[in-house]
Chain A
Amino acid sequence: MPKHDTPMIDELESGPWPSFVTDLKRQAEKSPQCWDILGKMELSFRDRITHWKHGGIVGVFGYGGGIVGRYSDVPEQYPGVAHFHTVRLNQPSSKFYTTEKLRQVCDLWEKRGSGMTNMHGSTGDLVLLGTTTDQLEPLFWDLTHDLNWDLGGSGSNLRTPSCCLGKARCEYSCIDTQALCHHLTMHYQDEIHRPAFPYKFKFKFSGCPNDCVAAIARSDFAVLGTWKDDIRIDQSAVKGYVNGDFASNAGAHAGRDWGKFDIEKEVIDLCPTHCMRMKGEELQIDNSNCTRCMHCINVMPRALRPGLEQGATICVGAKAPILDGAQFATMTIPFLKVDPENDFEEVIEVIEKIWDWWMEVGKNRERVGETIMRVGLPTFLKVMEVDIVPQHVKEPRSNPYVFWGEDEVEGGWDRSVVEFRKRHAQ
């Protein structure tokens, strides 16, 4: 396959950062079809339009996801990328790999595809970029039989669940994110591999409200570890921070001299609910008003730790599309038990309640967050059988009417109008 003249694409190599164009040129020495990607991209830059067609039918037998069809609309000009399908691999929980496994997958991909990868896609999968239709079944065979590795989700499937490092490495973690992620991945194999919903559905799990996988911004169902009781305080370590014995934020911002640590300015004044104060040398927290933002704990990890009664907050309905605007997930269940002993029964119950409702009420290509916006949060909370708490309220009311439910009115809708008129007749 010949090299193409690509003056515009070459410009992308001139900046200070590593360039994918350089990577592609290097890969092209082994996989000549990469020259055609560069050529086709140059054409797109020139024509100011994509030359990929929208979607298609590809897949492997028995699966309805994990492979995304990409067909070119200029196949004669760039035959190397006439089809250039993407393969999504289900990444291990928290993305822990052995180098051996990574070498195996890279070798396999050079044999069956372009050799180009994307580590990782925004859903979390390890993405293999570019192969032809005839290579898909052999690739799937090798992947599942030799590497013991499976595809992830795409289309209207449950997307590959993903989680933060959790208890494997992080002392903040209030739930075992990896156990939960792995359990639900296995439990919902059918939903991951075959379309199940009006549109895509994503799970993400973070061990604490720092939310390192950005579950609240990117997933339809976000599980965020939290605690119910009081933040654990070690008053002597608080003193240590005040005296400058320990670096704040575990030394994370030590690259610059920020001056002496000031607990009032750096912790207490920044608490979003103003629920902390110093009484003499003692740090006090009004835990009933703490919103579990993690700020104070992040700044003074030796002195403060999450409480011991741990579980998760469930937020529902994030999406991050390019069109139509992104939205964060809405806090739905303030505290839920996350218990590996009972196979996460409570979490599964909530998930299936959402699915049953959304499959019925959601429109085609409508994310669950959009369905909630359409019907209103109160309706959704009623479906979820959640008691409404002040934290569910986003803003003061703007609609003057109060709508009563039948069960809230004496006699329901069946009370006698004749009786009423008798008493109220003019």
Chain B
Amino acid sequence: MALSKEELKAAILEKATNAPKPQLYVKDFYACDPDSKPRAVKNAANELVKEGKMAFWSSGSTTMYAAKGRAKDEEK
């Protein structure tokens, strides 16, 4: 069974905080819960950004996610 939204968000944040790479693609979070639909994972990750716990890092052509404070060039 798929994780609840809050459980999914916790799993995503955990991965974003502890993964060796500071910036991750949305697809890298799919593994947090193989039972959740990609769209649910995307929505959960975007919600974490809205809550200020993660940030978007964008090259202009693609977008990655980083736990707050881990993104390259972040103005702290």
**Measuring CB to CB, which residues of chain A are less than 8 angstroms from any residue of chain B?**
53-57, 59, 62, 64-65, 68-69, 71, 86, 133, 154-157, 194-200, 356, 359-360, 362-365
Query: Provided the pairs A56-B72, A64-B63, A195-B46 are in contact, do residues A359 and B55 lie with their beta carbons within 8 angstroms?
Result: no
Query: Provided the pairs A53-B73, A198-B26 are in contact, do residues A359 and B56 lie with their beta carbons within 8 angstroms?
Result: no
Nearest neighbor of B75 in chain A, beta-carbon distance: A133
B71 interface hit (Cβ, 8 Å) = yes
Size class of the B contact interface (CB-based, 8 Å): 20 to 34
Closest 9 CB pairs of A and B: A155-B63, A55-B59, A359-B38, A195-B63, A68-B60, A155-B58, A156-B63, A364-B25, A64-B56
Chain B neighbourhood of A155, CB < 8 A: 56, 58-63
Report yes or no: A64 in contact with B62, Cβ–Cβ below 8 A: no
Chain B neighbourhood of A62, CB < 8 A: 50
How far is B66's CA from A27's CA once the two chains are assembled, in angstroms?
37
Chain A neighbourhood of B46, CB < 8 A: 64, 194-195
Interface hub of A59, A156, A200, A363 (most chain B Cβ within 10 A): A156
Q: Kindly provide the distance from the CB of B15 to the nearest chain A CB, expressed in whole angstroms.
A: 15
Report yes or no: A64 in contact with B25, Cβ–Cβ below 8 A: no
Q: Kindly provide the distance from the CB of A368 to the nearest chain B CB, expressed in whole angstroms.
A: 14
Nearest neighbor of B55 in chain A, beta-carbon distance: A57
Residue among B26, B38, B49, B58 making CB contact with A154, cutoff 8 Å: B58
Report yes or no: A156 in contact with B62, Cβ–Cβ below 8 A: yes
Report yes or no: B27 in contact with A198, Cβ–Cβ below 8 A: yes
Chain B neighbourhood of A360, CB < 8 A: 38
Return 24 A-B CB contacts under 8 Å, by A number.
A53-B73, A54-B59, A55-B60, A56-B57, A56-B73, A57-B58, A59-B56, A64-B56, A65-B58, A68-B58, A68-B60, A154-B61, A154-B63, A155-B60, A156-B63, A195-B46, A195-B63, A196-B26, A196-B42, A359-B42, A360-B38, A362-B27, A364-B28, A365-B62
